[in-house]
Chain A
Amino acid sequence: DGGITQSPKYLFRKEGQNVTLSCEQNLNHDAMYWYRQDPGQGLRLIYYSQIVNDFQKGDIAEGYSVSREKKESFPLTVTSAQKNPTAFYLCASTRDPGRSYNSPLHFGNGTRLTVT
């Protein structure tokens, strides 16, 4: 079955450590997105990428970094510069970005990161 895989589901890190969250999709989608969700809040956009080797900052990019070396992969690194990294992180993808809006966004099941 095609879909988006995020791993791991739960991740624990000590403060000051960088951590990388994995996101892989086999939907052949061009665009991929990273969102952050805090308790009782909506989704906030961290970074997005519409093609390989290109990505743009979202609304809350500070303290995060991404890469898009392959179409199917869009890993997110939470750096030690991120002041409040504990959150639920969601990866998503869609096809035909910018050319047609008639294409649903597909989400993974998220990674819950806890930093202590």
Chain B
Amino acid sequence: DAKTTQPPSMDCAEGRAANLPCNHSTISGNEYVYWYRQIHSQGPQYIIHGLKNNETNEMASLIITEDRKSSTLILPHATLRDTAVYYCIVRVKDFGNEKLTFGTGTRLTIIP
């Protein structure tokens, strides 16, 4: 079963901030939220991850709500190269083993 819910698609104007939401209402206390993106025919690229505090790196910012049931990935100044499918995942422990489940993601299109 998918552990996260994301909108299937979003558009954003070039130069604007892209805000991608993710719901993870069943997240447990020790589970991190990870974001990846995938450009066509390539492997997914790691963007950022967090537990409960907001995080920022050179690519993006991650805002996690206080109850940790949802998060938002922010690309502060979107460029055409940010057009990709963005995946939000929660690392889940399954019978003592770690299994990572990806949903269908959000297809982000940056509009010139």
List residues of chain A with CB under 8 Å of any chain B CB: 4, 6, 31, 33, 35, 40-45, 48, 50, 56, 58-59, 88, 90, 92, 97-98, 101-102, 104-110, 112
Q: Which residues from chain A contact B104 at a C-beta distance below 8 Å?
A: 40-42
Decide if the interface of chain A is mainly helix, strand, loop or mixed.
strand
Please tell me the number of chain B residues within 8 Å of chain A, measured between CB atoms: 26
Q: Which residues from chain A contact B16 at a C-beta distance below 8 Å?
A: none
Q: What are 27 A-B interface contacts by the 8 Å CB criterion? A: A4-B43, A6-B43, A31-B98, A42-B104, A43-B44, A44-B102, A48-B98, A56-B97, A58-B99, A59-B101, A92-B43, A92-B44, A97-B97, A98-B93, A98-B98, A101-B30, A102-B49, A104-B46, A104-B49, A105-B36, A107-B36, A107-B43, A107-B45, A108-B43, A109-B43, A110-B43, A112-B41
Q: Which residues from chain B contact A45 at a C-beta distance below 8 Å?
A: 99-101
Q: A42-B87, A109-B43, A110-B41 are in contact. Are A102 and B103 (CB under 8 A)?
A: no
Closest to A90 in B: B43
Q: Which residues from chain A contact B87 at a C-beta distance below 8 Å?
A: 42-43
Q: Which residues from chain A contact B101 at a C-beta distance below 8 Å?
A: 45, 59
Q: Which residues from chain A contact B105 at a C-beta distance below 8 Å?
A: 42
List residues of chain B with CB under 8 Å of any chain A CB: 30-32, 34, 36, 41-46, 49, 51, 87, 91, 93, 96-105
Query: What CA separation (Å) do A58 and B95 show in the bound complex?
Result: 12
Please tell me if the beta carbons of B98 and A97 are within 8 angstroms of each other in the complex: yes
CB distance from B42 to the nearest CB of A (A): 6
Q: Which residues from chain B contact A48 at a C-beta distance below 8 Å?
A: 97-100
Query: What CA separation (Å) do A48 and B100 show in the bound complex?
Result: 9
Please tell me if the beta carbons of B43 and A42 are within 8 angstroms of each other in the complex: no
Query: What CA separation (Å) do A70 and B100 show in the bound complex?
Result: 22
Query: What CA separation (Å) do A50 and B34 show in the bound complex?
Result: 19
Q: Which residues from chain A contact B31 at a C-beta distance below 8 Å?
A: 101
